[in-house]
Structure 1
Amino acid sequence: MRWIRLLMAMLSAKFKKKLIGTETVSKSFRVWITDIDVSVMNHAAIMTVLETGRIDLMVRSNFFKVASKNKWFFPSQAISIQFYRPLKIFQKAQILTRISYVDEKWIYVEQKIERKGKIIAACIVKNTIKKGRETIPTSEIMKALKIEKVPTFKYDLIKTCELENIQMNEKLVDKWDS
């Protein structure tokens, strides 16, 4: 069912207002019966819903069109997520997505899911853009998207995420047996 949700996100984004710059995008969704384990929305389904928010951002900013023209792809290097409250079957909620920080290599996207003013989950995603093995500089991407002003202030949460990534690599990749 994941692919249906992702396809619907792509199609619906095509008919929404195009984004100007790095606006925050909002997308509503409802918990489907296939999203729940026993009685609440499972974490995998929440991750898929967050992905639909990023798809909405990419389609509405024209990134998908530019990426396919240039043969770019956009892997996520890291996702850090916190879950705060459950969602139950058929409940409606909203995803908020925005670009929070851009440097020469990485684009950080912040997302949160809200329901009736309460945070359900929040995440930060570290993305890069590639063509084959080559990493495309973010300045080239922003130029292609005609985005002149990007968030370049590296606030503490971004620094914490970078430190967490380094520590995860050291322990789980480099020193697994230690």
Structure 2
Amino acid sequence: MTAAVRMLGTALAAPFRPRLGLLGESRLAFHVLPNDLDYNVHMNNARYLALMDVGRVDLILRTGLWRAMWHHHWQAVIAGCIVRYRRPLRPFQRMELVSRLIGWDERWFYIEHRIAAGAVLACQSMIRGAFLGSEGMVAPAEMADALGEAAVTPQLPGWIAAWREADRGFGVPARQLEPEEA
């Protein structure tokens, strides 16, 4: 229930917050609630990902991207995620979620999420996603163009190419991973 309440609160507040450029940062403040906790009495790993959903919705609403999505009947989908959990978050601890589009390539866009308690980074994630339209995937440059932004991406970190390459091997069917019979 908490994820839905946070999502609704963020969506209702978005029109009253400053508009963001395509590469702007969304900053949202939350507290760790009792139903965010796991059996170790710190924030559950899955709850971090649910918060990141809220951050992406804030980005979509405050950049005005929702208008293009509505007009073109696009759906935002997540195709991959890398998460690094660094420090636990305890009950009732205040945290800040920072979300930002860092760029795109010919197929995917990349969003970074950071969750921190004060100056201490608790979790960091990179999301790879796409928009789907009636004719398949929408080129990220088309998404930027729909916002009236320059369709030139900032340079992506070098490790993104390594992630794409690793992902190619990750999807190999199990039969192909088994050793060949002699």
Deviation at 1:133, TM superposition (A): 4.9
The verdict on how the C-alpha distance between 1:150 and 1:57 changes in structure 2, with shifts beyond 3 A counting, is: farther
Deviation at 1:150, TM superposition (A): 4.4
Q: Please say if residues 103 and 152 of structure 1, whose CA atoms lie closer than 8 Å, have aligned partners that are also in contact.
A: no
Q: Please say if residues 74 and 128 of structure 1, whose CA atoms lie closer than 8 Å, have aligned partners that are also in contact.
A: yes
Q: 2:70 aligns with which of 68, 71, 74?
A: 68
Alignment-mate amino acid for residue 36 of structure 2: D
Deviation at 1:122, TM superposition (A): 0.4
CA distance in 2, matches of 1:18, 1:28: 17
CA distance in 1, matches of 2:163, 2:103: 12
Gaps in structure 1 of 5+ consecutive residues: none
Q: Please say if residues 142 and 151 of structure 2, whose CA atoms lie closer than 8 Å, have aligned partners that are also in contact.
A: no
Q: Please say if residues 43 and 88 of structure 2, whose CA atoms lie closer than 8 Å, have aligned partners that are also in contact.
A: yes
Q: 1:106 aligns with which of 94, 108, 117?
A: 108
RMSD: 1.7
Q: Which moved more, 1:137-146 or 1:83-92?
A: 137-146
The verdict on how the C-alpha distance between 1:13 and 1:80 changes in structure 2, with shifts beyond 3 A counting, is: same
- Normalised TM-score (structure 2): 0.89
Identity rate, percent: 21
**1:27 aligned onto 2:28:** yes
The secondary structure found in structure 1 opposite 2:88 is: coil
CA distance in 2, matches of 1:44, 1:21: 27
**1:7 aligned onto 2:11:** no
Deviation at 1:94, TM superposition (A): 0.6
**1:139 aligned onto 2:141:** yes
Q: 1:52 aligns with which of 51, 54, 79?
A: 54
CA distance in 1, matches of 2:55, 2:152: 19
CA distance in 1, matches of 2:97, 2:12: 17
Deviation string 1:43-95 (CA, Å, 9 cap, x unpaired) is: 11111111111111111001122201210001100011010111111111111
The secondary structure found in structure 2 opposite 1:90 is: coil
Deviation at 1:20, TM superposition (A): 2.1
The secondary structure found in structure 1 opposite 2:161 is: helix
- Normalised TM-score (structure 1): 0.90
The secondary structure found in structure 2 opposite 1:75 is: strand
Name the structure 2 match of 1:89. Answer: 91
CA distance in 2, matches of 1:164, 1:12: 39
Q: Greater Rg, structure 1 or structure 2?
A: 2
Deviation at 1:35, TM superposition (A): 0.5
Alignment-mate amino acid for residue 115 of structure 2: I
Alignment-mate amino acid for residue 88 of structure 1: R
Q: Please say if residues 21 and 149 of structure 1, whose CA atoms lie closer than 8 Å, have aligned partners that are also in contact.
A: no
Q: Please say if residues 99 and 151 of structure 1, whose CA atoms lie closer than 8 Å, have aligned partners that are also in contact.
A: no
Deviation at 1:166, TM superposition (A): 1.6
CA distance in 2, matches of 1:169, 1:97: 28
